[in-house]
Structure 1
Amino acid sequence: MSEPEKSSPANWERDVLEKLALSAVQEQRRSRHWSILFKTLGFLYLFIVLFLAAGWFRSDGVSLPKAHTALVDLQGVIAADQTSADSVIGSLQGAFEDKKTKGVILRINSPGGSPVQAGQIYDEIKRLRAKYPKTPLYAVVDDICASGGYYVAAGADRIFVDKASIVGSIGVLMNGFGFTEAMQKLGVERRLLTAGENKGFLDPFSPVDPKQQAFARQMLEEIHAQFIGVVREGRGKRLKETPEMFSGLVWSGEKSIQLGLADGLGNVESVARDVIKAEDIVDYTRQDSLVERIAGRLGATMAKTWSPFDKAGVSLR
């Protein structure tokens, strides 16, 4: 038998060159495929941006009907680090600015919260109603619309409730704790150093200062008077005032209608269908980004750290 032919140096070099050439061609093909993919994604992104800019789609990708009811949710505690004025105001502005919005529903399910945050939302509602007089705004109450939640609702054209909704709590509170007796029993001494006579305002580990307590009550009365003024301004002659109305009590939705705190029974669907006459509902509720939520919580934490009210916050709840 003849021995197999050995590869000559020329054949070996040719094989290596062929393999290198083939690898280069394959790499070029892979690069071309990735280039086509990235270009396609880029064109798709620009296409979506153009559609959003033209107003054909909302930012969540939902096609807008020609005429619709705009929905904005106000859920939970009204506070800078929870349901903030910025997020609610941004949602309301987007709802009113859309030319296809026939009416706006502010759905409220809130026990209240910060008087500042609630006041900012109320003021913006008044501004938007004046700027867009042909676009009505209705508040629709779910389970509860109390204190700061009702402060906001008072700015609406009309308020609709469920017969079992909880409505009212028109009052202001400042809560906290006192630990002086417990500290005495435990033999704990409080060492508080301040620069400023009232910097340790209502410190829970120190005895109550009558002057500071009186000052706090006066401040609460001022904020309460502001709250009452907002309710009277918003509800007008519809309000049937009683001695208990501004005492902090709450009522059922059915009773709130009798008192003039609300206008009638209804939910989001019935108000959109029967009052606004636009059954298509588009949700404009703005969702804060992760960065915004972290910034809000950080700001609230810093405020508590440097505020004398960190143990006794003022609240419309």
Structure 2
Amino acid sequence: MEYIAEFALFFAKTITLIGGLLAAVLVVTAVGQKTRKLHKGHLEVTKLNEHFQQLKESLQHALLDKEALKKLSKDEKKKAKKEKGAVTEPKSRVFVIDFHGDIKASGVKSLREEVTAVLSMAQPDDEVVIRLESAGGMVHSYGLASSQLCRIRSKGIRLTIAVDKVAASGGYMMACTGDRIISAPFAVIGSIGVMAQLPNFNKILKKNDVDLELHTAGEFKRTLTVFGENTDKGREKFKQDIEDTHGLFKNFIKDYRGKVDIEKVATGEVWYGQKAVEMKLVDELMTSDEYIGLKAENADVVQVAYVVKKGVADKLGMVAHGAIDTTLLKWWERLNGSRFFSS
């Protein structure tokens, strides 16, 4: 009983916090609606080869004496002069895109624009590298994010997924679309499962003589509820829906990464990169920095990012969403002791 009271108090605080934040966002949005302009995004392209060269030159100037720097400068001028007169084949290009996933896969808004831009220029010899970090989230959101990466595969452009920290659940759904998956040795991989849960306060309402009416059209319009009285039939339908979603998840992975033993890995477990190689969930242990550095030796490497300028209301909305995500995460940890959301 003490646990229920504590949970109810926590739930009430959560609702109050979320309500206050949403109210603030609505007020700011309403005030600025008349003068607010549409904030269009723009594409930012960073030539990583130049970035790497600048890092190298900075270190050279810090470590080498004047004579050594002078000799180095002469050698580079001779090399540049020689290359200028030579006929060289055009370099292939490597396009780098970053995706940092939250519960709602909000980054898909930029990802779809970045993929569209890259596909407008990419040639068959080029490659796209996605630096992916996500512990998963909502099924439909990560389904859309995965579909954006499938667009690259369908155009015949080589797709490499690089995971430095985590690609779990919906994050792995995205990762499996790659022709090749690399991960850092201790990156968290897997969580091929589906989870859904919600508290039910019906007994508390009954104890306090509070009636709740829920009217639906359609037998399974609502299966389980937070405040209503749940039935065995509703629970069975809810479980069946989860199983069906899990089946779709497994079939998607089989389609794009047929080398894995799907029944062995689709248990909801996670593995570190070293074990994930044995499970064939990833192909090779390597950080994204190492991989991109190697590519930069023979290819033109560019980072592509679609950036949207945010107004005051948008920024407050991001604060509110961040607070909500943090609250939900704490709620999850309290109930499950886990930091990983399942798709």
TM over 0.5: yes
Q: Determine helix, strand or coil for the equivalent of 2:99.
A: strand
Given candidates 148, 172, 180, the residue that maps to 1:124 is 148
Distance 1:209 1:277, change over 3 A: farther
Matching residue's letter, 1:86: K
| Identity score, percent | 25
Q: Deviations over 1:58-90 (max 9, x none)?
A: 94375687654211111132526x32x332222
For residue 227 of structure 1, the aligned residue among 224, 249, 254 is 249
Deviates more, 1:68-77 or 1:99-108: 99-108
* Alignment partner, residue 104 of structure 1: 128
The residue identity in structure 1 corresponding to 2:114 is S
d(CA) in 2 for partners of 1:86, 1:61? 17
1:182 aligns with 2:166: no
Task: Output the amino acid matched with 1:257.
Answer: V
Change (3 A) 1:240 1:199: closer
Matched pairs, number: 236
**What value does the CA root-mean-square deviation take over the aligned residues?**
3.1
Change (3 A) 1:107 1:278: farther
TM-aligned CA deviation for residue 172 of structure 1: 0.9
Rate the CA distance shift 1:221–1:242 in 2: closer, same or farther, 3 A.
closer
Give the structure 2 partner of residue 249 of structure 1: 269
The two structures have a TM-score, normalised by structure 2, of 0.60
Check 1:63–1:141 CA distance in 2 against 1; reply closer, same or farther (3 A cut). Answer: closer
Letter in 1 for 2:115: L
Which residue of the other structure, out of 92, 113, 130, is the alignment partner of 1:90? 113
Alignment partners' CA distance in 1, 2:309 and 2:209: 45
Aligned residue identity for 1:271: Y
AA aligned opposite 1:290: K
Q: Indicate the residue corresponding to 1:76 in structure 2.
A: 101
Task: Label 1:79 to 1:184 Cα distance change in 2 as closer, same or farther (>3 A).
Answer: same
**1:201-240 to 2 correspondence within 5 Å?**
201-237=223-259, 239-240=260-261
| CA deviation after TM superposition for structure 1 residue 203, in Å | 1.4
1:194·1:200 contact (CA, 8 Å) conserved in 2?
no
Corresponding residue number in structure 2 for 1:31: none
1: CA distance between counterparts of 2:204 and 2:151? 51
Letter in 1 for 2:211: R
Tell me the distance in 2 between the aligned counterparts of 1:64 and 1:75.
19
Shift of 1:148: 0.3
Is the 8 Å Cα contact of residues 43 and 307 (structure 2) preserved in structure 1?
A: no
Cα distance in 2 between the residues matched to 1:278 and 1:190 = 70
User: Structure 1 residues 223, 242: CA separation in 2 closer, same or farther (over 3 Å shift)?
Assistant: closer
2:216 corresponds to 1:192: no
Give runs of aligned pairs for residues 261-276 of structure 1, distance below 5 A. Answer: 261-274=281-294
Aligned twin of 2:44: 60
> What residue is the counterpart of 1:26 in the other structure?
none
Give me the whole-angstrom Cα distance separating, in 1, the residues matched to 2:205 and 2:128.
54
- Inter-partner Cα distance in structure 2 for 1:190 and 1:147: 39
Query: How far apart in 2 are the matches of 1:182 and 1:275?
Result: 61
Alpha-carbon contact 2:47-2:301 (below 8 Å) kept:
no
CA distance in 2, matches of 1:270, 1:102: 18
Gaps of 5+ in 2: 1-41, 50-90, 322-340
Q: Secondary structure at the match of 2:306?
A: coil
**Structure 1 residues 173 and 159 mapped into 2: Cα distance closer, same or farther (>3 Å)?**
same
SS at match of 1:290: coil
Structure 1: gaps of 5 or more residues: 1-57, 302-314
Would the aligned equivalents of 1:171 and 1:224 in 2 still touch at CA under 8 Å? Answer: yes
Structure with max Cα Rg: 1
SS of the residue corresponding to residue 284 of structure 1 reads strand
Residue 142 of structure 1 and its aligned partner are, at CA, apart by: 1.8
The whole-number CA distance in structure 2 between the counterparts of 1:275 and 1:265 is 16
**Residue 171 to residue 92, structure 1, CA distance change in 2 (3 Å):** same
Of 138, 158, 167, 2:160 maps to: 138
Normalised by the size of structure 1, how large is the TM-score? 0.65
**Does the 8 A contact of 1:102 with 1:278 survive in 2?**
no
User: Post-superposition shift, 1:193?
Assistant: 3.7
Report if the CA contact (8 A) 1:71-1:95 is conserved.
Answer: no
* DSSP 3-state at the match of 1:74: strand
